[in-house]
Structure 1
Amino acid sequence: MRTIQDSAIAEKGLPDIQSNFYVSDEGNIYVGRGWDWANTYANQTLAVTFMGDYGRFRPSVKQLEGVQFLLAHAVANNYLEVDYKLVGQNQTKTTKSPGVNVYREIRKWPHFYGCGLDDEAPACGIELGMKPESWMGKQ
């Protein structure tokens, strides 16, 4: 976690770590910015990072369960709305994140929202009053 934080500060010029939470391959949940601080991606969102390279590897069952537990906890404790929308970072900007293997999994989850997938789909964040160009790297 310290290496991730150091990279965000030194290499990306950010004031702190980027995501609210990070989930390891073992299913451990690490607090990044936590519940009370906005992540660096967009206000009114919760950023959860799968720790690992999921362009090459598949997320573990424990990791997927850890993320699902975190999301259920967030709903149960009013950190997320019951009807929240799940979006991959690759839907909001040109990036390989979260990795094809994670993306393949989360597309099956009940709250997955197909925004930004093609010209027919709504732009991600439109329901929050955001413009597509307000996402980092999205023109």
Structure 2
Amino acid sequence: MRTIQDSAIAEKSLPDIQSNFYVSDEGNIYVGRGWDWANTYANQTLAVTFMGDYGRFQPSAKQLEGVQFLLAHAVANGALEVDYKLVAQNQTRTSKSPGAYVYREIRKWPHFYGCGMDDGPACGVELGMKPESWDAKQ
């Protein structure tokens, strides 16, 4: 986690680590910015990072369960609305993240939202966000 934070600060000139939470291959959940601080992607969002290279490797069952647990916990404790929308980074900007294998899995999840795809609306328009707002650094 310290390496990820150091990279965000030194290499990307960010004020801190990027995501709110990180989930390892073992399903461990690590706090990045946590619940109370905006991530660097967009306001009014919760950023969860799958730790690993999922353009080449499959996410583990424990990792997928860890993310699902985190999302359920967020809903149960009021950090996410019951009708939240799940969006991947590659839907909001040109990116390989979260990786084809993770993307294939989360597209099956109940809250997945097809914004930024095909004929779908731009991601965030329902929140009054403009497409360029995904690139704003917090």
Normalising by structure 1, we get a TM-score of 0.96
Where in structure 1 are there 5+ consecutive unaligned residues? Answer: none
Runs of 4+ more than 4 Å apart:
none
Counterpart of 2:89? 89
* Secondary structure, counterpart of 1:135 in structure 2: helix
Matches within 5 A, 1:67-82: 67-82=67-82
Higher RCO (Cα < 8 Å, 6 or more apart): 2
1:6 to partner: Cα distance: 0.3
The AA in structure 1 aligned to 2:17 is: I
* RMSD, matched Cα: 0.8
Counterpart of 1:136? 135
The AA in structure 1 aligned to 2:129 is: M
Matches within 5 A, 1:42-61: 42-61=42-61
For each residue in 1:9-44, what CA deviation from the matched residue of structure 2 results, as whole angstroms up to 9, or x when unmatched? 000000000000000000000000000000000000
The AA in structure 2 aligned to 1:128 is: L
CA distance in structure 2 between the aligned counterparts of 1:38 and 1:132, rounded to whole angstroms: 18
Q: Given the alignment of the two structures, is residue 114 of structure 1 paired with residue 96 of structure 2, yes or no? A: no
CA distance in structure 2 between the aligned counterparts of 1:53 and 1:133, rounded to whole angstroms: 26
CA distance in structure 1 between the aligned counterparts of 2:132 and 2:112, rounded to whole angstroms: 21
Counterpart of 1:37? 37
For each residue in 1:55-98, what CA deviation from the matched residue of structure 2 results, as whole angstroms up to 9, or x when unmatched? 00000000000000000000000000000000000000000000
Normalising by structure 2, we get a TM-score of 0.97
CA distance in structure 1 between the aligned counterparts of 2:77 and 2:31, rounded to whole angstroms: 16
Counterpart of 1:25? 25
The AA in structure 1 aligned to 2:132 is: E
CA distance in structure 2 between the aligned counterparts of 1:15 and 1:136, rounded to whole angstroms: 15
* Secondary structure, counterpart of 1:22 in structure 2: strand
